[in-house]
Amino acid sequence: NDQLLVYGSSDLVCYFATHPADLVKKHQQHWTPLVTWMKEKYGIVFETVSGIQYHHQPQESLGKLQKLLEDLDAAQFTVVQAAAATTGSVVIALALLEKAISEDEAYQAACVDEIYQLKTWGEDAEARKRLDIIQGELKVIAHFRDFVL
């Protein structure tokens, strides 16, 4: 639970690029709906910033997130824990748990930067291997979710 709160306090989907413009647009396309979903579904407000400088999330939001995580049953917690570790985002993990996004959408959201870099600079075998592993893990997590929930 504490590790999931760490993800929430510096969640991937809260740190938008400052440039280039097409990457900023990709962040907005994939991440803004997730931040909005958290607010609408759970009343948890995640503040987004441009750049990579740490931004402390509101204590009220982290308190609500902690309560939400504490209320998960063992199977739900396992899904969220595995998905957050894979994606670096408790927001993406919760959306995947709730089927607000598919495993492919979770992959696209979690790997926006890496996918953008491959498309911009060309294929890199190591980067592609890492992306394939993440995509495979998210598929397994979604299958586990569908099996136990």
- Tens of pLDDT, residue by residue over 31-45, are 999 999 999 999 999
Q: CB under 8 Å to 64, separation ≥6 — which residues? A: 42, 43, 44
Q: What is the mean pLDDT of residues 59-79?
A: 97
Residue showing tokens 């136990």: 148
Q: Name the token pair of 47.
A: 């503040």
For residue 119, the Cα-to-chain-centroid distance in whole angstroms is: 21
Residues with Cβ within 8 Å of 95's Cβ and at least 6 positions away in sequence, in order, are 34, 37, 38, 101, 106
145: closest CA among 110, 100, 89?
100
pLDDT tops 90 at residue 1: no
Q: What confidence category does residue 52 fall into, taking pLDDT thresholds of 50, 70 and 90? A: confident
